[in-house]
Amino acid sequence: MEITNKRSTHSASSVPAAKTLVTHNGSFHADDVFAAATLILYLEKTNNDFSIQGGLASSWEIIRTRDFEIIETGDYVFDVGGVHDEKTNRFDHHQKGGAGNRAFGEVSIEYAAFGLVWRKFGIELTGSNEAAEFIDKHLVSPIDAHDNGFDLVEKKYEVFPYLIQDFFRVMRPTWRETDSQIDQMFSKSVLIAKEILLREIIHAKDTILSNQSIVLIYDNTKNKEILVFDKNYPSSDILNTLSETLFVVYPRDINDDWGVKAVRKNSKSFDNRKDFPSSWAGLRDEELQEITGVEDAVFCHRGLFLAVARTKEGAIKLAQIAVES
């Protein structure tokens, strides 16, 4: 990745100029880091690389500046410039009136640079509106909210979750360090954000397929209190929409065992719709087998949200007992 303070040029007149991605210099945040990563993924996906004397050169460069003469020449300008215009690839949100917002139920979240860039290019990067919206909800909007000073999480305790914004904060030089390496740290951060985005896109696509499989299983299950999966599907969010289901039986990746997990009341909490019996808490092997009558029972978590058996039949029996208890 090349980061400069002015537009670079190439001596070969036959070589097309690299696309310039312009953002502000100085301190950086998750917002501009992920906006840059999104644009780079878009340029790579659309095959904008070109050859120079037999070698492969990058089709883009990042310019970090607040010089308006340079900003005006940028092909893609984000988080700087005071203009939001998708047609001309201007993605700032600091101007008077901001750059709009999107709603999630009763919550309205303003767009920051990441959200504006994602809104234009997210569908092309993911291949579907559903996947783009999934990533916007789980990654883009939280970063936009934080960048615009909107708290999504109540700070109830002295200990607080470590957010992705905290990671990129510590990538910046401290007050005791020199700012001479800040462009290099920005470059490193963008490469990390790019990898995160690539993984998020994979997870979004696979989660959508998972949700489709779970709904099909649900529709074809008579007793919907217990669902039996053929694979270990990620399921927290979709299960919250299936109000009848209390437990899920699934094949585990460990020792060919089968697990039973309690469905949570909400995917963002640890409260279950129904716990396993309290007398099972922390029991293993013979102790659990004796109290449940399930010959191949292996373990019940002391938090009463997970139980394990060696076979699918044993796991189903544990689930049935838990439902009836």
pLDDT in tens, 103-161: 998 899 999 999 999 999 999 999 999 999 999 999 999 999 999 999 998 888 999 98
DSSP one-letter string for 254-320: STT-EEEEEPBSSTTS--BSSPPPGGGTT-BHHHHHHHH--TTEEEE-TTSSEEEESSHHHHHHHHH
CA atoms within 13 A on the CB side of 135: 29
Q: What is the mean pLDDT of residues 219-231?
A: 95
Cα separation of 284 and 191, whole Å?
A: 45
Residues 6+ positions from 95 with CB-CB distance below 8 Å? 82, 83, 84
DSSP element (H, E) containing 56: strand 55-57
Three-class SS state of 237: helix
The answer, yes or no, to whether residue 265 has pLDDT greater than 50, is yes
pLDDT range class, residue 63, cuts 50, 70, 90: very high
Q: What is the mean pLDDT of residues 157-182?
A: 91
Q: What is the mean pLDDT of residues 165-175?
A: 94
pLDDT range class, residue 48, cuts 50, 70, 90: low
Q: What does the pLDDT read at residue 255?
A: 83
The answer, yes or no, to whether residue 191 has pLDDT greater than 70, is yes
More confident residue, 223 or 267: 223
Q: What does the pLDDT read at residue 1?
A: 52
The two structure tokens encoding residue 275:
């716990």
- Number of residues assigned to the chain: 325
**Bridge partners, residue 299, by sequence:** 284, 308
**CA distances in angstroms from 310 to 119, 291, 314, 316, 317, listed in the order given:** 46, 16, 7, 11, 12
Residue-wise pLDDT tens digits, 2-46:
555 444 333 444 455 678 999 999 999 999 999 999 999 999 888
**Bridge partners, residue 60, by sequence:** 19
**Residue in the block written with tokens 């696509």:** 205
Among residues 78, 60, 76, 198, which one has the least CA distance to residue 126?
198
Q: What does the pLDDT read at residue 10?
A: 39
CA atoms within 13 A on the CB side of 249: 24
Q: What does the pLDDT read at residue 300?
A: 97
Cα separation of 207 and 211, whole Å?
A: 6
Q: Among residues of the chain, what percentage have pLDDT more than 70?
A: 91
Residue-wise pLDDT tens digits, 280-314:
999 999 999 999 999 999 999 999 999 999 999 99
The structure's pTM equals: 0.85
